[in-house]
Structure 1
């Protein structure tokens, strides 16, 4: 009988320590249902019930809750690591694509310059007619 009570006490203590450390280490914006401080107080005052409640209804759902602050600021998949991202296979096609992009950009610049030139000329004639 004493061994069962001692085992229950050790399990409760281990659960209490785990939940207390987990609740303190969780980001405040990810904690569910109550503010983080309230969860810490509940876990401190009611070790067994508070710990179970934390695991069931308070703990963040995401497994990424324990990431560092730097990692949380970074997107989940940086552009170069994104799954399914197509990588260049043929350097010649890559160069052809870039050449086409440059030509389109230059054509757009020329069209823009021509449009601005026409607008300046229109403004000049409107000012001279007044």
Structure 2
């Protein structure tokens, strides 16, 4: 009987451990994911029961997610975090994108120049090798 109970606890522990690991950080309730992982890992029976009762995400996670306006789709925490850089007006956004394009073009020019130098050096080395061999 003790062996069966031990197997049940082991199965519950493995299930809860994998469930904590595979759950998204934002979906954990009451504690952060790392604390749930520590609790389940070091206190198999109590931690597993606590996870199932108080930490596991709700059955329908989109039902509890906040909605932005009447758009019909949920907002996501990574877009709502404080301090996230968002352009205040379209001109700032255009200036930023223009700067990105200019930097990318400069990097492409530099890369092409280096490739030309490498090709030219290899061509000279081949020519020098041919002249010394003949």
TM-score (ref. length: structure 2): 0.47
Give the greater-gyration-radius structure (CA).
1
Higher RCO structure, 1 or 2 (CA under 8 Å, sep 6+):
1
